[in-house]
Amino acid sequence: MTKHYYAHRPYPIVPEDQRDNDWRYQLMELSEDALLEKVNAMPREQLIEWLAWNDVHGVFRDEDSIAEGYEPLSKEHAAICVFVVVMRSREGWDGNMGEIYVKDMSLAVSTEV
């Protein structure tokens, strides 16, 4: 297993003129329905990669979670976290992820902006 230490070596900042072609930024631009479909279809590793990129000081990678005494994120939990991070700042978001109310769940991310 490859160890990642992104808290010490953060992801490089993607230049603004290249963001339209970056999958991480594209994910943030999807409509609510398209985002729901996308995160449910993404592999667990890609969801965790997005979370770690979005918050380099967060505890999302398996080795970081274990080192901090947490269980690694499941695919379902990672998908909910990505969805919440993208949706929480959108005006009018009702706290639902499809048919599931996620705003009051205990998550690895905050549901508030």
pLDDT, one tens digit per residue, over 15-49 is 999 999 999 999 999 999 999 999 999 999 999 99
How is residue 101 annotated by DSSP? Answer: E
Q: Tell whether 97 is covered by a domain.
A: yes
**Domain of 96?**
19-101
What is the overall mean pLDDT for the chain? 90
Q: Is pLDDT above 70 for 3?
A: no
Q: Tell whether 10 is covered by a domain.
A: no
| Whole-structure pTM value | 0.87
Half-sphere exposure of 23 (CA within 13 A, CB side): 9
Q: Tell whether 111 is covered by a domain.
A: no
Q: Tell whether 54 is covered by a domain.
A: yes
Q: Tell whether 107 is covered by a domain.
A: no
Which residue is listed with tokens 């953060």?
Answer: 10
Q: Tell whether 7 is covered by a domain.
A: no
Q: Tell whether 14 is covered by a domain.
A: no
Report pLDDT digits (tens) over 49-96.
999 999 988 999 999 999 999 999 999 999 999 999 999 999 999 999
H helix intervals, 42-94: 44-54, 62-67, 75-87
Bridge partners for 101 per DSSP: 96
Number of domains in the chain: 1
Q: Tell whether 2 is covered by a domain.
A: no
